[in-house]
Amino acid sequence: MTSFPWLTLIVFFPLIGAVLCFLVKAESSRWVALGFTIGTFLLSLPLWWLFDPSTATMQFVERASWISSPPVNYSLGMDGISFPLVLMTTFLMPFCVTVSWTAIEKRVPLFMSMLLVMETAMVGVFVALDFVLFYVFWEAMLIPMYLLIGVWGGPNRLYAAIKFFLYTLAGSLLLLVAILALYFQGGHTFDILELSRGTYGASLQMWLFLAFFAAFAVKVPMFPFHTWLPDAHVEAPTAGSVILASVLLKMGTYGFLRFTLPMLPDATVTFTKPMIALSIIAIIYGAYMALAQTDIKKLIAYSSVSHMGFVTLGIFVLNIQGIEGAVMQMVNHGITTGGLFLCVGIIYERTHSRQIQDNTGLAGPMPRYAIFLMIFALSSLGLPGTNSFVGEFLVLAGTFLWSQFATAFAALGVILAAAYMLWLMQRVVFGTPAPAHRAHLLDLNARETATLVPLIVLVFVLGIFPNPLLTRMHASVTNLLNGQKAPAFATTPPLPPLPKAAAAMAAISPSSSEQAAAR
Amino acid sequence: MIYALIPFLPLFSFLIVGIGEQWIKDRAHLVAVPAMVGSFVLSLLALHDVATGQTVNVPLYTWLTSGNLDIHIGVSIDRLTAVMLILVTTVSTLVHIYTIGYMHGEPGYARFFAYIALFTFSMLMLVMADNLLQLFVFWEAVGLCSYLLIGHWYDRASACAAATKAFLVNRVGDFGFILGLFLVWYSFGSLDYATVFAQAGTLASKTTNLLGPIGGTWDVSVMTMICLLLFTGAVGKSAQVPLHVWLPDAMEGPTPISALIHAATMVTAGVFMVARLAPLYNLSPTAMTVVALVGALTMMLGATIALTQTDIKRVVAYSTMSQLGYMVMACGLGAYSAGMYHLLTHGAFKALLFLGCGSVIIALHHEQDMRHMGGLKDKLPVTYWTFLVGSLALAGFPLTAGFFSKDDLLVSSWSAGPLGQVLTICGLLTAGLTAFYSFRLVFVTFWGKSRVDPHHASHVHEPSTTMTAPLMVLAVLSVVAGYLGIPAFLEPVFHGEGAAAHHEGSAAYSIMALATLMGLTGIGAAYYLYVLNPGLPDRLAQQWRAAYELSLHKWYIDEAYDRSLVRPTLSAAQGLWKHVDVAIIDGAVNGVARAIAWGGWFIRLTQSGQTQHYALGMTLGAVVILTVYLLL
């Protein structure tokens, strides 16, 4: 089992398709892309059963020497944190192809090939266990994404593409500096696992933390580094928006989990409070921004800022509920926001407008579409029974152990999410259609239905049966928290809850009377 | 195990009708009604089991685990749950049958059945929960069904707005609920009722410093915090002040929904929750007082608004709000079984009143304004007589179910100390108002001359049997429910806690007499004003302009929320976006880019490629260096 190179196959299989796209007729490149994305998904699917949930060690590991000096290895592996993200990525890619089937008319082979290149780079980022390899995949994502926005985007696409490119590149350069610093301080290796086992001085950790932060916070994006996101989303073609929201944003939070927490435990604890503050600001601020939008895509883009705030919040409360909730939320956000963007793309093909006022009263002429959109919207606002509730609930539960007041603020985001999403539904789904567009409002065709139904199914499956996925995370997340050399964290209430060091750190945490007595 | 079918039969019905909507169309009831009847029969069996001393507990599966968080979904039935099961399945079955006639020929016929089946499933799972998270999950799920059903006629702007409003206001309540839930988990390490109740005593004297984070000191009992936060959820769901504003607007939904969701079942979930969590509430006198006061305030506010409304459904809606206030007040005074008793009888007679309204509305082609009704007594005899029974029960007329339960409630309240006695007096006064507005409704709608639109007046007729039969069944229940010994059945659940429900003695008889007197006075006053002197109400409205306007405009609470919350939030969002996000944050990003671009342009000036420019540069440089060198 372990000898079979699953991960290499999954990473590079799409790349074959990317080349093939140019070799066949332009029309057929769609089928090539569809075949290869589905093929990649089918290749990754057995991992669900092959993955051993009982261990936190890397699984499906492959290792080969790439460059001997400096020692760079081609090493891949997967644990309970990267596993759900890889599956989510391979699951979503076929729908990026089908939604672009008729929407993309020019340079189809190049488009399809870029999608496949993206897939290789994205999966590569999640499974790379060597820093140089990781960085190669990380940077490799930028170019196809830049092209997706810049070539097939909306009217303001060049501005958006350049902004996206430069903004994330600026962050990435500091990541490179951090990687080099780790190399020289951490025993001249780029091996991620080995570097995670090392210990680093306090001030080095601080600097590295800031460098990592620059790279990851832009990607997430965390407040106040989020302004590239609405522009990129609005201008990107639908498939680009889906990839951007569902997968690219997760790179940032994955980076925090894979590098910042294990390698820089002391700095992580030091920066906990500002990180949580930024997360909560993102949750509330993003929701407020969403309330003010009239462009559906922009609204969803800002809602992503809010939802990703929950992810970073969960990560930095540093307990098991928080981090498992964060990983769940990463997957859920991928599915739900991906679904919402697919829906927007579908309606844009009909009305050629993303404005709310041009897309009203869809329930009448497009009942099936309306139901699907409503389900994604309800999932987005965290309704129990849908996937998002599980993630948000766990994140908030974890936050509650850290600070009850922080939880109250974060939970305000849930009210606001209901406000902007239901208000959007009230205007888009309910009511009567805008007369000018009425004739174009045909309900979903078979291709579009097939694009949305699997996501809908997953919304409910993950909402009603989240435990199979959660059990695959337990070992890795527990290990991640145990690896924290800093004070142990409250993984088990009841009462005497926060251990002293953590409590002292969390001055905004309320103190029960007995804790006060203990001091 | 068979009892797992009680909720799952409606769920299957939902899945079949919902997924096969396009195919099943107007045959939806063939699936939905039998499923509901099955669920009802099983509930009766469950009731029998519970009455003979068994408790049912069927764990279904583990929903989620994370650290010490371990949540199971399952169904468990005790006496409290059993009576709720009977209420929910009875009303739901009758509403299903009524819907066949009411929604006949509507394009959303199958969709409607799908949603009410989903609602019934959720409501049953809610009452059968054995842990707080399952309660919360289905609490939100019934809210979703309510949202979807209020917005059933999605092309009506007012219906959509009402749906959004209902969901949002409930979200505000649920915000408190979920924080309360976290606090329970944090304090007890579990969310299971059994575990939490067993440990509840250990937390009784614990306090937490609420102002700790900002350096102050304000020690509050943890148990009070828990109870009040959870109660926030109940305030939303059971339409208590100040989160009551969604309920009257919810009347935009089709009338069977108003009967099922917004009268008999979902809105009583808040009362049910407080009763279910009685072991926690009993430990916090402060929280109990708040609960009682909120209930009493709602009770009076609802009644005063109901006096002047002209929309037939809104009168009944405000009446529901007021009656829910009674139940919440009773729970707050520790009279849980009295509160639950009233909840059950109210479920019967209020569902009856709503379905009666539905008959009138259908007969008049969707006319809901009482001012365009009148004289319907002879044209709609079944509706009239059953409506009359319902109104008598609501007014607490002797020997109806409403009489027994309201009496039980008021007597229990009286024995709950000084606060209880004050609130009992409020309850008695409200009983008078209740009788008045119920019979105002009866007299204006059914008596007197017809003010019906002449176009429809000639063919006003009684609706089909599928609609009148449920009315008759409910009318019988509105009387019979008073003789079934419900309080005694429920007593063991709240055994030895709070005020006992039975208090023979002079006080009890005086209250009974007073309540009856208040009811009769109210009916008499309505008769005097609306039958004997039909011009008088308008004159009174003129004379008491301010009071009348206040009641008519629902105390201007909606307007106040709009001005103080809704609009400021929206304009803050706009302002933040334009002036902070675009101008400052993105401005800074673009500013950096522009600065770099300008920098590049500026430096490029030096690279003009012309020799004389370089020569000039060299000369100037030499001059500067020389100057600096000479001067320093």
Instruction: Write out the DSSP string of B273-285.
Output: HHHHTHHHHTT-H
> How many whole angstroms separate alpha carbon B405 and alpha carbon B350?
14
Which residues are paired to A355 by β-bridges?
A295
SS percent in chain B: helix, strand, coil, step 5: 75, 5, 20
In total, chain B counts a number of residues equal to: 632
B115 found inside a domain: yes
Chain B closest CA to A293's CA: distance in Å? 8
Nearest by CB: A513 against B69, B161, B219: B219
DSSP assignment string, B406-448: HHHHHHHHHTSHHHHHHHHHHHHHHHHHHHHHHHHHHHHHHSS
Instruction: Confirm if A475 and A53 have CB atoms less than 8 A apart.
Output: yes
Cβ distance B69 to A394 less than 8 Å, yes or no, reads yes
Return the DSSP state at A493. -
Burial B311-345 (b: 16+ CB within 10 A, else e): bbbbbbbbbbbbbbbbbbbbbbbbbbbbbbbbbbb
By residue range, what is the domain housing residue B593? 564-631
Reduced to 3 states (helix: H, G, I; strand: E, B; else coil), residue B217 is: coil
Shared domain check, B190 and B147: no
> How many whole angstroms separate alpha carbon B209 and alpha carbon B232?
20
Phi then psi for residue A128, to 5 deg, are -70, 135
Cβ distance A325 to B66 less than 8 Å, yes or no, reads yes
> How many whole angstroms separate alpha carbon B247 and alpha carbon B262?
7
DSSP assignment string, B368-412: -BGGG----TTTSHHHHHHHHHHHHHHHT-TTSHHHHHHHHHHHH
Shared domain check, B457 and B342: yes
Nearest by CB: B581 against A289, A385, A511: A289
B259 found inside a domain: no
Chain A closest CA to B170's CA: distance in Å? 9
Chain A closest CA to B319's CA: distance in Å? 28
Instruction: List chain B residues with CB under 8 Å of A471.
Output: 65
- Cβ within 8 Å of B, A 119-178: 163, 166-167
Cβ distance A364 to B140 less than 8 Å, yes or no, reads no
Q: Is A418 on the interface with B (CB under 8 A)?
A: yes
ipTM here: 0.91
Report helix angle B109-127 to B28-51, nearest 10: 20
Give the side-chain half-sphere CA count within 13 A for B52.
Answer: 5
Shared domain check, B180 and B144: no
CA B597 to chain centre: 59
Q: Which of B233, B251, B278 is the last residue of a domain?
A: B233
- Cβ within 8 Å of B, A 213-232: 224, 226-228
Nearest by CB: A378 against B144, B182, B570: B144
Shared domain check, B314 and B196: no
Instruction: Confirm if B191 and B185 have CB atoms less than 8 A apart.
Output: yes
B551 found inside a domain: no
Instruction: List chain A residues with CB under 8 Å of B182.
Output: 396-397, 400, 404, 407
pLDDT for res A43: 94
pLDDT for res A269: 92
Helix segments in A220-264, DSSP class H: 228-235, 238-243, 249-255, 261-263
CA distances from B408 to B272, B278, B331, B465, B602 (A): 18, 19, 13, 35, 88
Q: Which residues does chain B have with pLDDT short of 50?
A: 497-501
Phi then psi for residue A198, to 5 deg, are -75, 165
> How many whole angstroms separate alpha carbon A239 and alpha carbon A185?
41
Tens-digit pLDDT profile for residues B59-77: 899 999 998 898 999 899 9
Shared domain check, B600 and B491: no
Which residues are paired to A59 by β-bridges?
A78
Q: Which residues contact A508 (CB under 8 A, 6 or more apart)?
A: A273, A403, A405, A406, B213
Instruction: Confirm if A506 and A403 have CB atoms less than 8 A apart.
Output: yes
> How many whole angstroms separate alpha carbon B627 and alpha carbon B630?
5
Shared domain check, B386 and B326: yes
Instruction: Confirm if B142 and B129 have CB atoms less than 8 A apart.
Output: no
pLDDT for res A495: 38
> How many whole angstroms separate alpha carbon B451 and alpha carbon B12?
45
Shared domain check, B569 and B510: no
Q: Which residues contact B506 (CB under 8 A, 6 or more apart)?
A: none
Cβ distance A492 to B189 less than 8 Å, yes or no, reads yes
Q: Which residues contact B40 (CB under 8 A, 6 or more apart)?
A: B89, B90, B92, B93
B435 found inside a domain: yes
pLDDT for res B505: 67
Test the A interface: residue of B14, B65, B66 with most A CBs within 10 Å: B66
Provide the number of CB pairs (under 8 Å) joining chain A to chain B: 181
* 519 residues of chain A, pLDDT tens digit each: 457 899 999 999 999 999 999 999 888 999 999 999 999 999 999 999 999 999 888 999 998 888 888 889 999 999 999 999 999 999 999 999 999 999 888 899 999 999 999 999 999 999 999 999 999 999 999 999 999 999 998 888 999 999 999 888 888 899 999 999 999 888 888 988 888 888 888 899 999 999 999 999 999 999 899 999 999 999 999 999 999 999 999 999 999 999 999 999 999 999 999 999 999 999 999 999 999 999 999 999 999 999 999 999 999 999 999 999 999 999 999 999 999 999 999 999 998 889 998 888 898 889 899 999 999 999 999 999 999 999 999 999 999 999 888 999 999 999 999 999 999 999 999 888 888 777 778 889 999 999 999 999 999 999 999 999 999 999 999 999 987 543 333 333 333 333 434 444 443 334 444 444 443
Shared domain check, B308 and B199: no
Residue of A nearest to B585 (CA): A224
Instruction: List chain A residues with CB under 8 Å of B233.
Output: none
Instruction: List chain A residues with CB under 8 Å of B586.
Output: 227
Chain B closest CA to A411's CA: distance in Å? 7
B249 found inside a domain: no
pLDDT for res B504: 54
> How many whole angstroms separate alpha carbon A280 and alpha carbon A260?
19
> How many whole angstroms separate alpha carbon B534 and alpha carbon A501?
76
Shared domain check, B345 and B210: no
Phi then psi for residue B288, to 5 deg, are -60, -45
Cβ distance B137 to A385 less than 8 Å, yes or no, reads yes
Burial A341-373 (b: 16+ CB within 10 A, else e): bbbbbbbbebbebbebebbbbbbbbbbebbbbb
Nearest by CB: A492 against B67, B136, B151: B67
Cβ distance A510 to B185 less than 8 Å, yes or no, reads no
> How many whole angstroms separate alpha carbon A455 and alpha carbon B486?
48
Shared domain check, B308 and B190: no
Residue type, B164: T
Structure tokens at A414: 């849930």
Shortest CA distance to A286 belongs to which of A326, A345, A227, A244? A227
Cβ distance B209 to A430 less than 8 Å, yes or no, reads no
Q: Provide the number of structural domains found in chain B.
A: 4
Give the side-chain half-sphere CA count within 13 A for A113.
Answer: 19
Shared domain check, B426 and B475: yes
Instruction: Confirm if B209 and A510 have CB atoms less than 8 A apart.
Output: yes
pLDDT for res A518: 41
Cβ distance A422 to B182 less than 8 Å, yes or no, reads no
Chain A closest CA to B65's CA: distance in Å? 7
Instruction: List chain B residues with CB under 8 Å of A441.
Output: none
B200 found inside a domain: yes
CA distances from A107 to A97, A103, A217, B361 (A): 14, 12, 33, 60
Cβ distance A403 to B189 less than 8 Å, yes or no, reads no
Shared domain check, B614 and B504: no
Cβ distance A407 to B219 less than 8 Å, yes or no, reads no
Q: Sign of the C-alpha dihedral, residues A416, A417, A418, A423?
A: positive
Report helix angle A29-44 to A82-99, nearest 10: 160
Instruction: List chain A residues with CB under 8 Å of B141.
Output: 383-385
Would residue B21 be called left, alpha or beta, if left means φ above 0 and alpha means ψ between -120 and 50 degrees?
Answer: alpha
B248 found inside a domain: no
pLDDT for res A515: 42
pLDDT for res A484: 57
B261 found inside a domain: no
Chain B closest CA to A281's CA: distance in Å? 13
